[in-house]
Every structure is written in structure tokens, then in C-alpha cells.
Amino acid sequence: MNTYLNALGVICNLGAGKSAVAEALFAGNDTGIRAQAGWVPTHTPPLGGVRISLPPIPAELADRRTNRNNQLLLAAAQEIESDIRAAISRYGHGRIGVVLGTSTTGIEEATQGIGAYRRDGQWPADYRYAHQELGAPAEFLAEWLQLAGPCYSISTACTSGARALLSAQRLLRLGLCDAVVCGGVDTLCRLAINGFHALEAVDLQRCDPFSIHRRGINIGEAAVVFLMTREQAAVQLLGGGASSDAYHMSSPDPQGTGARKAMLDALRNAKLDAAQIDYINLHGTATEHNDSMESLAVASTFAHSVPCSSTKSLTGHTLAAAGALEAAFCWLSLTDGHAERRLPPHVWDGEADPALPMLNFTHIGDHLPVEGRRFLMSNSFAFGGNNACLIFGDPA
């Protein structure tokens, strides 16, 4: 049973909405990564924060649901609200599900409330425990849209957004839903930023995926909302693969065994050969171990020199939203209104690590093949050896 990504709403540090994000993405605009004070006590790390005003939470939900995570999610969802409302009219509220990937939810606001309690001995008036619940973003979206289908969040660290799309596809294939609002959302929060800083995994300059000088990640924030149905559209979710190698709590299997299995499972699920893939959006965190294992996994899976790039030097690592955001970048390539469908460039210092297999990194202006169906892959890897891979393409 075929499934399609019919509509996309997106907001990240590159811009608000598909047009703004695409313009910055294909131009390789890395100015959205900026030093921001106040997040880490001892340093001022560059972050991929969204710097525009966000929409207020609707009045009927404002008391319970107001936090930055939900506001960012609402901004993305409003871009495709008309598509969602049309699906509601067609299928009914009970036949539309919501599946989102998240990890930070409203933890920033919850942490501030806990700090106030420790300082003052009482909870602030605006503290809501529900802000920190992982299911809260999906529940908020379902409440706002008055949906009654399956509703849940997935939190598998940095694969959450990708797994949300796989889960949405499963709901459609099982006949439990006729449409699913799916994607991912995470916002900047001190807990995550300081946690990565404590692991010495944060670069204090713009990150350099796959460079010999790579020093770690930049952290960003994003919200991505797709409407997925069985109705044919310009972008088809052809399949995906997932694995869990459980090599280490925070480090990947250095040989990339689990990552390679996820890619091979995705190819098998999509009924494609490796040689048919036209582009890979790499997980590419710019950490020593991730880039090493991913380059090994890609080089051993793809005999041809497949174009690929990591977009995290443009957006930062958006954590649970990353898999959905990079799926959105594949969507933007496949639907690009440019004369030739452009590919996200690999923005880095250009100094490859000679210890790693050399990959075919894209440049500004590179594009998909002009003829035939095009197939794009997106990789996401997470703590605990949790791996996910998605494949998108033109409809048959």
C-alpha cells in the first residue's frame, strides 16, 4: 500500500515556511547558527535558534498548553492547516491520527518552574506538570484540531522524527487511519544543551561534519508537520528501516553495523537497489564517532559515489526533530520549483579526514537527475544504537 507526504509545514533557524527554508537551504546559508549567551554557564555556544515571534496558543488551550515547544509546533502546523481541515472534512475527526517525535517537549518551562519551587518553596502560578510529558505535543495538536484518531509521541532521541513517519505509515497501512499528521518538534532547552556540553560533544564554533577538524555538534530547534495519506502526491514515502545495535549508551557501533542494517532494510522495504539512490541526507553530527561510523556504513553500502550531505552545519542538530526536518529537506528537493531540482549542499571547511572513507559531498547548485524517477534517503542515528533510515521518491 503506497503512502504519500501530501503537505509540509516547517519552521527552523533557516526560516518560517517552505519557501524561506528552501531558499536558505539550497543557498547553503549558515548564518542561522549564532553564538547565544545564557544557555551554558561557562561558554557561549552557537545555536540554531528560531528568532521570529511565534503564534500564541489558542485561547481555549492557553492555560494548559502554552510553552515554546507547542508554539513552534503550531507555527509549522498552521502552514498546512487548510490541508488538514480538508482531510478532516473528507475522512472525519476519528480517522485522522497524530504521531510526533520529541524529546524536549516543554522541559525548559518545567525546569524554570522547578527552579522557582526550590527557590521560593512554592510552585509558580503558570507551572504545569504536563509541559514535561513526552505525549504533550501530540495531545496539543490533537486538541487544537479536535482529532479523535490515534495520538501519541515517540521519543527515541535523535531518531524520533524519522520513527514518527514510519509509525504514521504503519497506521495507514493497517487501516487504522486515513490520514496522519506526523513529524517532529524540539526546542532549545538548558537541560539538553548542558547535557551535551557535559559530554564534551558541543562545538564552540560552527560544526564541521566529516572534517578532520570536527569537534562536535551545534544544537538547534525545529518543528516539522507532514500530512500523510494514501492519496497520491508529489512525494512518496517508499519505505524505511530501523535497527538497534545497543552497542553503548551514547556511542554508536564504530563499524556502523546497525546503521548499515537500517539502510539495507530501508532499501529492501522500498524495493530498491543501492545504485538507485540519487542522494543521501546524512545524520552527520560532526562528532568524532558518529561521522566515522556513518562514513564506513555508507561507503560499504553504496558502491557508486552517491551524492550526500549533512545539513546540520546549517540548522544545528535539532535532536528529536532532526529526522523529520531532514525528511522535509528531501521533500523540498523533490518538489523544488527551480528548473533543476536542487540538493542541499554540504557546508564545511572542506578538509576531509583521511582516516575516513571519502564520500561524494554535494556543493551549492548540485541537483537531482533531470530524467526518470528520483530516490532520496535520509539517515538518523541516536543514543543507544537506535538507527532509522527513510527513503522518499517521485510517485510511480
The pLDDT assigned to 303 comes to: 85
Q: Which backbone phi and psi does 188 adopt, to 5 degrees?
A: -60, 135
Q: How far apart are CA 152 and CA 175, in angstroms?
A: 17
In this structure, are 87 and 145 located in the same domain?
A: yes
What confidence tens digit (pLDDT) does each residue in 202-215 have?
Answer: 999 999 999 999 99
The pLDDT assigned to 322 comes to: 98
Of 161, 194, 229, the residue at which a domain comes to its end is: 229
Rg (CA), the chain: 20
Average pLDDT, the chain: 96
Tell me which of 12, 177, 182, 317 is the catalytic residue.
317
Task: Concatenate the DSSP letters of all residues of 281-328 into one string.
Answer: E------HHHHHHHHHHHHHH-SS--EEE--HHHH-B-GGGHHHHHHH
In this structure, are 90 and 188 located in the same domain?
A: yes
Task: Concatenate the DSSP letters of all residues of 120-168 into one string.
Answer: HSS--TT--GGGG-TTHHHHHHHHHHT--S-EEEE--GGGHHHHHHHHH
Residue-range definition of the domain harbouring residue 344 = 236-393
> How far is Cα of residue 104 from the mean position of the Cα atoms in its chain?
13
Domain count, the chain: 2
Helix segments in the chain, DSSP class H: 18-26, 59-65, 68-79, 81-91, 107-120, 136-145, 160-173, 190-198, 257-270, 288-301, 312-315, 322-334
In this structure, are 263 and 122 located in the same domain?
A: no
| Known catalytic membership, residue 158 | yes
In this structure, are 89 and 224 located in the same domain?
A: yes
The pLDDT assigned to 15 comes to: 98
Residue 349, CB-side half-sphere exposure with 13 Å CA sphere? 14
Q: How far apart are CA 82 and CA 41, in angstroms?
A: 43
Of 229, 246, 262, the residue at which a domain comes to its end is: 229
Tell me which of 131, 182, 189, 283 is the catalytic residue.
283
* Contacts for 361 with CB less than 8 Å, ≥ 6 apart: 210, 307, 308, 309, 346, 348
Q: What is the average pLDDT across 42-58?
A: 96
pLDDT above 70 as % of the chain? 100
Tell me which of 12, 158, 189, 308 is the catalytic residue.
158
Q: What angle do CA 228, 105, 181 make, to 5 degrees?
A: 10
In this structure, are 257 and 219 located in the same domain?
A: no
Indicate the DSSP class of residue 206.
-
In this structure, are 251 and 347 located in the same domain?
A: yes
Of 174, 194, 229, the residue at which a domain comes to its end is: 229
- Please say if the pLDDT value at position 231 is more than 90: yes
| Known catalytic membership, residue 283 | yes
What confidence tens digit (pLDDT) does each residue in 283-301 have?
Answer: 999 999 999 999 999 999 9
* 224 membership: H or E segment, kind and range: strand 222-229
What confidence tens digit (pLDDT) does each residue in 353-384 have?
Answer: 999 999 999 999 999 999 999 999 999 999 87
In this structure, are 293 and 204 located in the same domain?
A: no
- Please say if the pLDDT value at position 9 is more than 80: yes
What confidence tens digit (pLDDT) does each residue in 91-120 have?
Answer: 999 999 999 999 999 999 999 999 999 999
In this structure, are 211 and 278 located in the same domain?
A: no
Q: What is the average pLDDT across 4-33?
A: 97
In this structure, are 191 and 324 located in the same domain?
A: no
In this structure, are 123 and 181 located in the same domain?
A: yes
In this structure, are 153 and 260 located in the same domain?
A: no
Query: If pLDDT is split at 50, 70 and 90, which confidence band does 392 have?
Result: very high
CATH of the domain at 352: 3.40.47.10
Query: If pLDDT is split at 50, 70 and 90, which confidence band does 60 have?
Result: very high
| Known catalytic membership, residue 317 | yes
In this structure, are 210 and 306 located in the same domain?
A: no
Q: What is the average pLDDT across 233-262?
A: 89
Q: How far apart are CA 257 and CA 247, in angstroms?
A: 10
